[in-house]
Structure 1
Amino acid sequence: MNVDISNCLVIEDSLPGVVAGKAAGMAVVAVPSLPKQAGLYSSADEVINSLLDLHPEKWGLPPFEDWIEGTLPIEPWYIGGPVIKGFGRGSKVLGIPTANLPAENFSTILSEHTSGVYFGWAGLSTRGIYKMVMSIGWNPYFDNTEKTIEPWLLHEFGEDFYGEELRLAIVGYIRPEANFPSLESLIARIHKDGRIAEKALDLPIYAGYKDSPYLKNSMLRSNCHS
């Protein structure tokens, strides 16, 4: 094929594949199959959590054209359940109250979706539908031992709503999960994620999901029981 190997980019999930690609003189982007294994792939030119985080322009290739205002539209997915108490860090440590869902109810979903920061719409059965930004992962700054789902509803509430049914329509992706050198830098990044989500959800490609039957049906059921 008369191809210069040094101009080739390999995207590989296995360690032997990474080693082979580097030995052949290719640029290699590693996408580890197992969580928390990035350290084993240090020979790769770049290690990313998932293909959502691939930016081909870094390698002299045309950029993907589906990113919009710093967000990536995804196939929507929907989850819901009662709001529970989490680690207590959201309000007390970060000043960012999250509405936690029981992770044990979503083991399959958590295994299917890559860690990172997502956004979408949140429906509370007795209150309304709100913009939200959400993290999925291990929160490396706090070194969690389990993968969690932590939505932050972008609205000021005057009281807690533990036990209330929360439904989420997740419609876009912002960035991979990351560690931070300080608590202040983590808080600043979370607020930036919130601003990105707030702005993006006004775009037509995302705004329509606010009217999702999944979100509205929870409101209807609540009204029927009130």
Structure 2
Amino acid sequence: MRKQGLRRPFCFLEQSSRDEILKNIETSPSEDAEYDCVVLGLAPSMFTYEHLNTAFRILLSTPPKPLIATHRAKYIRTQSSTDSLSLGPGPFVAALEAATGVQAEVVGKPSRTFFEMVIDDFAEDELLPEGRIAIVGDDVETDLGGGAVELGLWRVLVRTGKYRPGDEHRPGVVPPDEVCDSFAVFINSLMNSSYLMNSSYLMNSS
């Protein structure tokens, strides 16, 4: 946002995330200034008609304003609900895109930019060995799709969290390279393979 000169975001974020973003950009000195973008993340308390309509109007203003999404997960499993899934930010991102014609810029998973940034951080800290990088997650699209596929990461789907039976064979997704019952099971198999230990680095997204 700082690189784009954005200073007055309309945020679909919980307060802690909103504060984190605002402290890292040069915010507009006036609270009356017009919003110059919409930032949408996981914020159930914000997903009301009033707030969505405000975002809709901001995106349609002249000149058009950008829509920035932290990710496009269709559903999530919260810590307070181990049995039921809940809507993620993805459907709300899609609704605003459909209504305004503005394509969201996804800054988190599964964008290629996100994965490249993480890999670059590993390299800067000299934590990146030679060999293949493994990405482990419970969502075949949000964790293991997009940039993970484009960059040729070793994509491991775990049957925990929000995994649903048959996710690995869902139409329209690239099947994972490996499916494990849990992250612990995958780690055990990794520890028992000296070749893998010497040639892989883990990114856990579950």
TM-score, normalised with respect to structure 2: 0.27
TM-score, normalised with respect to structure 1: 0.26
More strand by share: 1
The structure whose RCO (Cα within 8 Å, separation 6+) is larger is 1
